Amino acid sequence: MVVAEYIDRLFTQFEPSLKEILTNNATLRDFKIGDMLMQTGQNMRSTVIIVEGTVKLYREGEDGQEFFMYYLQPGNACALSMICATKQQTSQVMAKAIQQTKALMIPIVLMDQLMRDYKTWYYFVIETYRTRFEELLFVIDNIAFKAMDERLAFYLKKQAADLSTKQLHLTHNQIASDLNTSREVISRLLKKMEQSGQIKMQRNYIEYLI
């Protein structure tokens, strides 16, 4: 599928002239599982829009520990890439492809023009910021107000919903990293969830049963 086809399929609300300028200027990039789309300290030259696959955004601590933020899926733009690109700042987050992914890369030189000349692009940017802000509030609420067993239950539920699968290919270490806790705590809580019938631990994945 070419750039114009992705834009027509995912962004029906865009004006024809906006679709045309994006088609003529955006480039399509492929990312394999594990490839990095953004890294801490990276200069951003493009705004990133996902058109296929799933990308995980997270913060990385000084000790290398990961802190999960949210996923980007088809039709989602990376709000942080918009901010960094327009202000010519470096990225403060990491973005990793967890599925085979295709992304539209929109040059930063277009940002002012798109925001000024196209209402549908302006509203798309505002909606992107709002959605990502709500995602971060969800993360903060889980950290500040929920016990670890509740956080784990919400995490697995959201993983199943976001990835559209009941088979969660997540290791105990990955979950512990995303929830900023220890592997031992996660293993103990997963065992309790299995005993209560919420999940079933398979050889290479966690089966979400709710």
**Bridge partners of 27?**
105
Query: Domain boundaries in the chain?
Result: 3-143, 146-208
CB contact at 8 A, 97 and 31: yes
pLDDT digits (tens, 9 = 90+) for 63-90: 667 778 888 999 999 887 776 655 566 7
The rounded distance, in Å, linking the Cα atoms of 192 and 179 is 17
Domain spanning 146-208: CATH 3.40.190.10: no
At residue 26, φ and ψ (nearest 5 deg) are: -80, 150
Considering the entire predicted model, what is its pTM?
0.76
- pLDDT tens-digit profile of 82-114? 766 555 667 778 899 999 999 999 998 898 899
β-bridge pairing 206-208 and 199-201: antiparallel
Task: Give the span between the Cα atoms of 173 and 183, in whole angstroms.
Answer: 5
Per-residue pLDDT reduced to its tens digit, 143-185: 777 899 998 998 899 889 888 899 999 999 889 988 888 899 9
**Quick one: how far is CA 200 from the chain centroid?**
26
Answer yes or no: are the C-beta atoms of 137 and 29 closer than 8 Å. no
Look up the CATH number of domain 3-143: 2.60.120.10
Q: How far apart are CA 11 and CA 185, in angstroms?
A: 43
Mean pLDDT in residue range 47-74? 85
CB-based contacts of 210, cutoff 8 Å, min separation 6: 157, 198
